[in-house]
């Protein structure tokens, strides 16, 4: 299979560059994974990579994921050293392609695999999980309540298209050590009924059917957070109010997360 010429893989590679260009991927910050459709059964197993969490639902699925410690700015120019194609097995992954320099998959493999499993149950078209250090969304976790309803309501109130694209709300996890099974499990629990999870003082996880869609979703969250951060210290004279949010939802024919609009 000519992996690098698959249009969805080209989009994946381009997205890594776009995350860097946003200033959200300093050093090795951030990681991207994508469920791969297609038959990879003829690819030899290059090596196996153990993991310690239970990803039973994902056994047999193939994913593309960035490597641990790899810089997203280098992914597009040198995919073979910076990303991996993995087949998930029981307690380990088979490396089918990539990580040619001997690297490992992202340290956030648990959050990625378990979030894929959660999102697939909610949406069969789901394919992509993206973690990035979105500047304004992270900044907001220092000055705003981490209550999910309050956090979401603030973002909905800051930009008209917020409720359009994250009507299901934004989940928030309190600070936790990253790169652990625990934060992976906690992230996936939130992903069961939402597509955005903010990690306080760290970054954002977003999910979508394509790399563009997952990135676009995080962009809408970060833009609203940017408006908040630009105005939080100023006397705010007006914002989008609850009746306007309801009006917008009616125009769009969407159901915002129940209980979030008074
Ligand atoms: P990796 O380089 O292991 O993917 O980790 C980057 C990161 O952002 C951890 O949260
Ligand atoms: Zn991170």
Q: What does the pLDDT average to over 102-120?
A: 98
Counting from 1 in the atom list of ligand 1, the atom nearest the Cα of 30 is 8
Ligand 1, atom 1, residue with closest C-alpha: 68
| Shortest-distance atom of ligand 1 to CA 199 | 10
| CA–CA gap between residue 56 and residue 118 (Å, rounded) | 12
Check if 213 is active-site. Answer: no
pLDDT digits (tens, 9 = 90+) for 26-52: 999 999 999 999 999 999 999 999 999
201 CA distance to ligand 2 middle (Å): 10
Question: Which CATH superfamily, name and number, covers 3-252?
Answer: Class II aldolase/adducin N-terminal domain (3.40.225.10)
- Locate the domains of the chain by residue range: 3-252
Helix (H) / strand (E) containing 218: helix 211-231
Exposure class string for 67-103: b at 16+ Cβ within 10 A, else e: bbebbbbbbbeebebbbbbbbbbeeebbbbbbbeeeb
Percent of the chain with pLDDT over 70: 100
Task: Show Cβ contacts of residue 253 under 8 Å, excluding neighbours closer than 6 positions.
Answer: none
pLDDT at res. 91: 98
| CB-defined site of ligand 1, < 6 Å | 28-31, 66, 68-69, 106-108, 131, 178-179
pLDDT value at 255 more than 80: yes
Nearest ligand 1 atom, CA 28: 2
**How do residues 178-234 score in pLDDT, each as one tens digit?**
999 999 999 999 999 999 999 999 999 999 999 999 999 999 999 999 999 999 999
- 20: CA distance to ligand 1 center in Å? 14
């Amino acid at each position: 299979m000519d992996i690098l010429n698959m249009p969805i893989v080209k989009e994946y590679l381009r997205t890594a560059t776009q995350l860097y260009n946003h200033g959200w991927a300093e050093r090795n910050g951030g990681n991207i994974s994508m469920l791969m459709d297609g038959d990879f059964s003829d690819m030899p197993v290059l090596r196996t990579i153990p993991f310690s969490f239970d990803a039973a639902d994902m056994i047999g699925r193939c994913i593309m994921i960035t490597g641990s410690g790899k810089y997203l700015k280098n992914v597009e120019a040198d995919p073979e050293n910076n990303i991996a194609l993995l087949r998930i097995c029981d307690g380990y992954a088979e490396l089918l392609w990539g990580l040619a320099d001997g690297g490992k998959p992202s340290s956030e493999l648990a959050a990625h695999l378990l979030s894929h499993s959660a999102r697939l149950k909610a949406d069969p078209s789901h394919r992509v999980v993206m973690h990035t250090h979105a500047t304004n969304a992270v900044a907001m976790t220092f000055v705003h309540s981490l209550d999910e309803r309050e956090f979401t309501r603030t973002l909905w109130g800051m930009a008209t298209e917020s409720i359009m694209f994250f009507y299901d709300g934004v989940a928030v996890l309190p600070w936790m050590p990253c790169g652990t099974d625990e934060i992976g499990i906690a992230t996936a629990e939130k992903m069961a009924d939402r597509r955005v999870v903010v990690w306080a003082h760290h970054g954002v996880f977003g999910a979508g059917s394509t790399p563009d869609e997952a990135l676009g979703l995080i962009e809408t969250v970060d833009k609203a957070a940017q408006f908040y951060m630009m105005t939080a210290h100023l006397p705010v004279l007006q914002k989008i109010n609850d009746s306007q949010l309801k009006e917008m939802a009616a125009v769009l024919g969407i159901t915002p997360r129940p209980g979030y609009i008074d």
